[in-house]
Each structure stands twice: as structure tokens, then as C-alpha cells.
Amino acid sequence: MASPGRFHALGAFVVKELRHILRDRQTLIILLLIPLAQVVLFGFAIRTDVTDIRLAVVDPAPDDASVALRTRFSGNERFRIVATTTTIDALEPLFRRGGADVALVIAPGLSRSLAAGTTARLQLISDASNPNTGSTMQTYASAVIVGWQRDLMAEAMTGSARTAVAPAVLIEPRVRMLFNPTLESVNLFVPGLIALVLTLVSAQMTAISLSREKERGTLEILLVSPLRPWQIIVGKVAPYLLLAFANVVTALVAAWLVFDVPFRGSLTLLLASSALYALVGLALGTLIAARTGSQLTAMTASMMGTMLPTTLLSGMIFPIASLPLPLQVVSNLVPARWFIVIVRGIMLKGAGVVHLWQELLVLTVMLVVLMVAAIRSFRARLA
């Protein structure tokens, strides 16, 4: 017997798999809405950028310069001056009751030091009970001061200064936030969310659906049939790949509509990379299902083995560089770590294959290794 029916057989299998997915309406709706819900939730709730910063100013001896600096802050949309005092002692109770986020302490004689060209002393104190927002607020406040200083210099050059400033060369720290100049955290989250959703749909759903067949005994029937292991795996995976595509597009559209997240690179490249990443997840899900005994174990294993690393070790929330060294090494094994670099590169920097080939190569190698392992353990664990 030749095999004219081989693709016919695969087709029949894919149709069956699609029917399973379409028939389970509740799961389908949840899976389709997840990217939307996640983008919106993460985008609004877990933003680390800060908008309304409450500023306390300690200005023991107000002069032209210190008033100008205060005006500069009150004119900035991110800052709101909530208190102005003359003693630093007033700060502690203020911080304790959570009345201010950042304090600016101006040493007496600001105008004088500016005119003389000696060091002007300013201190920034921030409430770092949340370290992330704490340092972000510091950064914003420094940026305001640097901006003011730069304008003063410019005025001194053109001679239009209202405040006397020595034409001394001041060292100016240039702080620029590349690619995400406004420090929008949502821009960083969206690529991570795409990875998370793809992991959920590919790794977890395949693991569940395959282990369900195993548990019910239908897998045995399939294995006794002329279908080959690769056909069973491809048939299982193909419909979820479609679902994964739908999810990526939903996440992108939601990010663009709700948060104005930029998209600078090639959509084709992004979809192709997503397909590659989804395949890695699908292979991983297959492997998990083949190695575990029940649906419940498969679900727990895929949760621990894919979702957690994707959230914690991928650079999605915590930068890889800030992880302890052993975890940094482990993070190299997490597919999402590479995928997120790719998505951020494409979306925020408009990077192309030339820039991302290393990450793409890593994912391809992972895919091959996992696929071979999945098909093997599938064959070995027939029973």
C-alpha cells in the first residue's frame, strides 16, 4: 500500500482537533480574550512609570534662583508641589504619613553659587518604599534640574539671563532614555505579554489537550492507527498555532489602540518569530504531556515549567541583569528570554533579521532539540 492517504489522514486529524477547540466555547472565548485582558490589566495596573509626583520643597533662604527652580517644578506636568518649608525637620513627618513622594532640598545661597560658579548644592530625597517607583521619581526630578541648568547656561551665553550665572563650564549629565524616551513601562510589558500569551496557548494548551487524550485512552487508539507520531504532533499543534496568531494580533492591536505602543519594525518578521516561538512552546507542551501521567500533573508541570520562568526569568518584569548570577545562567534556557528581546527589538527599535539573528538562531536550536525529544519520548512512552 502506498500512502496517498497520508495527508488525507493528517487533514482528518486537524479537522478533529479544530472541532474540539470550537466545541469548547468557554475555553475558546477565554483564550481569545486573554491577550486583551492581560494587555489592559498589565498596562494600567502594573505600570511602573509615575505620573502625579507629590513634591515637597525645603527652601530655607529663598532667592531668585531657588524660586525659579521651584517654578520649574510646578510647571512640570509630572510634579505637584504639596509643601514648601524652610526647615528640613518638617520632611520626616511628611514622608512618614505618606504626604510626599519626593523632596527637593535647596541649600541657602543658590543664586550666589550660580553667579560665582561654585558648586550649587541640591538634594533629592525620595520615598523608596517602592524601590522601582522611587528610583524612577529620582530620575524624573534629576531630569527637571538638568533641564533647568541647561537653560540657564543657554541664557548665560546669549546674555538674556535674569539670574546672574558664571560662564563656567558646568558638567552636564546627559540622561536620555533611548527608544522609550517617556519611560512608558507599557512599551516594555507588551512584548513580555505576547510571550506570556503564546506560552499559555502553545505550551499549556497542548500539554492539556494531549494529556487529556492520554487519560481518556483515545491516544492509544491513535497510536495503533497508521498515523505516525509526527502526524499526531503536527495535527495537535496546527490548530493551536492559528489560535496563537490570533492572540498576537489581538495583543498588538490592543496595545496600539489603548496605549499607543509604537510599532516600528516589520509585522511579517514579528509574526514569523511568534510562529517560531509558539512552535517551541508547542514542542515543550508535547514533551510535558508525554512525560506526565495525568492531565492535572501536566497542567501543574506546564505551569511551573513554562509560565513561571516566562514571567520571572525572561526579563519581562525583572531585568535579566538584576537577577543573581545563577539565575542569569538559567534564564538562558528560557525561550521567552530570547523571544522578548526579538519582540522589543522589532516593536521599539525597528530591528531586522540582521540584528536579531542570534536570538532567532537560539530559538531554532531550542525548537529542534525539543521536537526531537518530544517525538522520541512519544515513541518510547507508547503505553
Partner 1 sequence: MTQAIEVRDLTRRFGTFTAVDAISVDVGKGEVFGFLGANGAGKTTAIKMLIGLLEPTGGSARVAGFDVLTQSEDVRRRIGYMSQRFSLYDDLTMRENITLYGGIYGLSDEDIRTRGDELLGGLGMMHTADTLVGTLPLGWKQKLAFSVAMLHRPAVVFLDEPTGGVDPVTRRQFWEMIYAAASRGTTVFVTTHYMDEAEYCDRLSIMVDGRIAAMGTPAALKAEFGVASIDEVFVRLARPSAAAAAGG
Residues 359/276, Cβ–Cβ less than 8 Å? no
* Of 150, 162, 216, 376, the one binding partner 1 by CB under 8 A: 216
Decide if residue 15 touches partner 1 (CB under 8 A): yes
Tell me the closest approach of the beta carbon of residue 375 to partner 1, in angstroms.
16
Contacts of 312 (CB under 8 A, 6+ apart): 318
Number of residues that bind partner 1 (CB under 8 A): 30
Contacts of 253 (CB under 8 A, 6+ apart): none
* Of 50, 152, 195, 223, the one binding partner 1 by CB under 8 A: 223
Decide if residue 16 touches partner 1 (CB under 8 A): yes
Residues 69/165, Cβ–Cβ less than 8 Å? no
Tell me the closest approach of the beta carbon of residue 304 to partner 1, in angstroms.
28
Site track 170-209 with partner 1 (rule: CB under 8 A), x = hit: ----------------------------------------
Residues of span 21-40 touching partner 1 by CB under 8 A: 23-24
Decide if residue 51 touches partner 1 (CB under 8 A): no
Tell me the closest approach of the beta carbon of residue 29 to partner 1, in angstroms.
16
Decide if residue 326 touches partner 1 (CB under 8 A): no
* Of 154, 157, 164, 221, the one binding partner 1 by CB under 8 A: 221
Decide if residue 20 touches partner 1 (CB under 8 A): yes
Q: Which stretch binds partner 1 (CB under 8 A): 7-15, 183-191, 291-299, 354-362?
A: 7-15
Judged by beta carbon, residue 4 or residue 326, the one nearer partner 1 is: 4
Q: In what order do the strands lie in the sheet with 102-106?
A: 79-85, 53-58, 102-106, 122-126
* Of 8, 121, 150, 162, the one binding partner 1 by CB under 8 A: 8
Q: Which stretch binds partner 1 (CB under 8 A): 60-68, 88-96, 214-222, 238-246?
A: 214-222
How far is residue 243's CA from residue 241's CA, in Å, rounded to a whole number? Answer: 5
Decide if residue 220 touches partner 1 (CB under 8 A): yes
Decide if residue 13 touches partner 1 (CB under 8 A): yes
Phi first, then psi, for residue 292 (nearest 5°) are -110, 160
* Of 43, 168, 172, 218, the one binding partner 1 by CB under 8 A: 218
* Signed CA dihedral, 104, 108, 114, 120: sign only: negative
- Which DSSP string do the residues of 216-260 spell out, in sequence order? HTHHHHHHHSS--HHHHHHHHHHHHHHHHHHHHHHHHHHHHHHH-
* Of 51, 118, 225, 332, the one binding partner 1 by CB under 8 A: 225
Measure CA of the first residue to CA of the last residue in the chain; give whole Å.
27
Decide if residue 97 touches partner 1 (CB under 8 A): no
Judged by beta carbon, residue 92 or residue 220, the one nearer partner 1 is: 220
Pairing of strands 122-126, 79-85: unpaired
- Residues composing the chain: 383
How far is residue 185's CA from residue 49's CA, in Å, rounded to a whole number? Answer: 6
Pairing of strands 53-58, 79-85: parallel
* Of 117, 147, 226, 293, the one binding partner 1 by CB under 8 A: 226
* Of 6, 121, 264, 376, the one binding partner 1 by CB under 8 A: 6
- Which DSSP string do the residues of 254-316 spell out, in sequence order? HHHHHH-----S-HHHHHHHHHHHHHHHHHHHHHHHHH-SSHHHHHHHHIIIIIHHHHHSSSS
- Give CA separation, 317 vs 173, 191, 227, 337, in Å: 28, 11, 42, 11
Decide if residue 376 touches partner 1 (CB under 8 A): no
- At 103, is the secondary structure helix, strand, or coil? strand
- At 53, is the secondary structure helix, strand, or coil? strand
Decide if residue 333 touches partner 1 (CB under 8 A): no
Tell me which residues touch partner 1 (CB under 8 A).
1, 3-6, 8-9, 11-13, 15-16, 19-20, 23-24, 216-218, 220-228, 382-383
